[in-house]
Amino acid sequence: MQAFVQPGEKRRRLFMAVIGVVTCALSVGFFKQAAFGTDPFQCLCNGIDLSVPSISFGTLYVIICGVLLCAMLLIDKHYLGVATLINLFLTGYIAQFSQWTIQSIFGDPTMAMRIVYLVIGVVVMCFASAMYFTADLGVSTYDFIALHIAKVQNKVPFRFVRIGTDLICVLIGLILGYMPGVGTIITAFFMGPLITVFNEKCAKPFLKAAPRMSQRANG
């Protein structure tokens, strides 16, 4: 049972959840435009897609997310919230718009621009993930896996659990015939640690500022 949450903190949590998920989706556009490979979960989905050519990728992606959503409902409903719904229904469209916008403004990227896009994609994705994780108003069906494992076993820090789940996705995708790119490997090793850094340095301080601001307003 969660303690009473002040209205100011509730608004801040909602802001963090929505902005975090939307920004995360925007970062996917940079990641795709960099063309250095997909993120680990997409690597897994692409590998499964190669093994099930009779189903379109879009339909297959919905099925995979649906299976993970059912697991979330059965195992721990706490992680289901507004951020989960935004991830399920809007992330793909926002990412597509982001990639289209970057392409329209900057055109075909040079190698240097692709590297910049990759850095922006990874850093922004980790920052955004930390924001909506800390908001505690739901997570994506894939993010749920590492968060739940870290919560249950309570011995290995989240950053290492996330590296493990990401590497498993990459390995399964590779076994199924999808070749990961350098961006996939970088993401697999650095997302967990970077999310932890942004969580401690940015997300938690931002959230804790809400009660203080509320006290000043009432004082």
**What is the DSSP code string of the chain?**
-PPP--HHHHHHHHHHHHHHHHHHHHHHHHHHHHTS---HHHHHHHHHHHH-TTS-HHHHHHHHHHHHHHHHHHH-GGG-SHHHHHHHHTHHHHHHHHHHHHHHHH-S--HHHHHHHHHHHHHHHHHHHHHHHHHTS---TTHHHHHHHHHHH-SS-HHHHHHHHHHHHHHHHHHTT----HHHHHHHHHHHHHHHHHIIIIIHHHHHHHHHHHHHHH-
Domain ranges of the chain: 7-204
Q: Is the pLDDT of residue 1 over 70?
A: no
Q: Is the pLDDT of residue 59 over 80?
A: yes
Asked whether residue 118 carries a pLDDT value surpassing 90, the answer given is: yes
For the cut 60, the answer to whether the pLDDT of residue 122 exceeds it is: yes
What is residue 51's predicted lDDT score, i.e. its pLDDT?
92
* pLDDT tens readout for residues 163-179: 999 999 999 999 999 99
pLDDT of residue 5: 52
